Structure 1
Amino acid sequence: MDPQTLAQLQGNILFWIIIAIFAWQGYQRGLVSELVKFGFIALGLAVGTPDLMGTAVIKAINGFYLATQFLIHGGLKAIATGNFDAATVSNIFKVITKLPHLVPKDHMDLALFLVMLLLIGMGYIISMFSKTKNPGLGLVAGAINGLLLSYIFLPLLPDKAPFTLNDLSPAGIFRQLLALISYLLNATLKGVNSLLDFLMTIFGAWTIPIILLAIIIILLTSLKPSRKKSSGGNSTSRS
């Protein structure tokens, strides 16, 4: 089997596995849950596509950031004191127009991808609160969600798979497994580095403290008080 045909076969297998997983999940969660997911997935896809909503979202984010900087660099004080004349506004704009955008053009794709992931994650979290109804239709809706997610994420996979199905001996499978693990680790490290670079452009030296604070908050919110079992019994007294 030539490498191109093998890559297509592996892609098709992965595609149908994704469809089956999400169809089964839809059967478990029901129609309403899958419709909520579908709405957020579709919104995430629209936001993550620059030609649809992506460019407008980035402009809105940068515009909101510019408005915030306007208030920080004297706009709020000018509004509070009533000294909101043309000269004051002009001086503030001279300062903030020299500031870099919150999301520069070279980080636009990464920012849109993160927003898309955030929306999809929100959809899955919100869908957990819906009751399970119409599991049959939920199965169909889940398969559609799997199809949509495959359309989004499968093109991001490399053309050449990090493993092959040629050698199915125990040693060959072990080597393929190591290659897959190595590929996943490298991809994860690249993603983390790209994310850190993007966050550094936004928060600068505050990036690490903010990440640590977020980790601490997540850990604290996940803590649950230990429940002590109260042992009680009926005491009998002899008269």
Structure 2
Amino acid sequence: MIATQGHQDQSIRIQRMLPRNCQMLLFSATFEDSVWKFAQKVVPDPNIIKLKREEETLDTIKQYYVLCNNRDEKFQALCNLYGAITIAQAMIFCHTRKTASWLAAELSKEGHQVALLSGEMMVEQRAAVIERFREGKEKVLVTTNVCARGIDVEQVSVVINFDLPVDKDGNPDNETYLHRIGRTGRFGKRGLAVNMVDSKHSMDILNRIQEHFNKKIERLDTDDLDEIEKIAN
């Protein structure tokens, strides 16, 4: 929330109304440059506790990637996952609203209870979709980056990166990757994150994400049902 200018201004106004001896604590899985600058205004001489980069990807989350050639193969790999393991609830991240809409429609055709969340929705609409998902009325949430942060749903056991997260220049968005996979493996439970790779470029993105976090992401063959079943154990 603080990453948006409007919330920063509101937070500073609130901070100015607090007593001078008020203790300020700021927490986040990641800190963008704009948030660091904000933090320096609010807490000019802070004590800072940071994880090492290799500790940032949670140990409770198993991470895999699947090699595909196109969108249809990614969808088939997704269907194979659902056919082989029990998934309580899943969040599936797409790069564009168009892909998210297509994927939600295809999953619905396969009989899944699907919710769709994207950036053009009003705040009230988003809140209603998230609440239905949290209550378990839908088992699959297909979304763009609008849902990468701050959504805690205990029953999410799998996160799928149908498209890997990239910034506006096409480089890996490591912070968003961390926030996305962090939607699972919460509340002390184990989680599973699966990344769909469909080009040399997306393989390069995945390799750079591995290097950033110093964390190897294993390959998963979704045509091998025995292999899929092993990752669920």
TM-score bucket (shorter structure): under 0.3
| Higher RCO (CA 8 Å, separation ≥ 6 residues) | 1
More helix by share: 1
Higher strand share: 2
Q: TM-score, normalised by structure 1?
A: 0.21
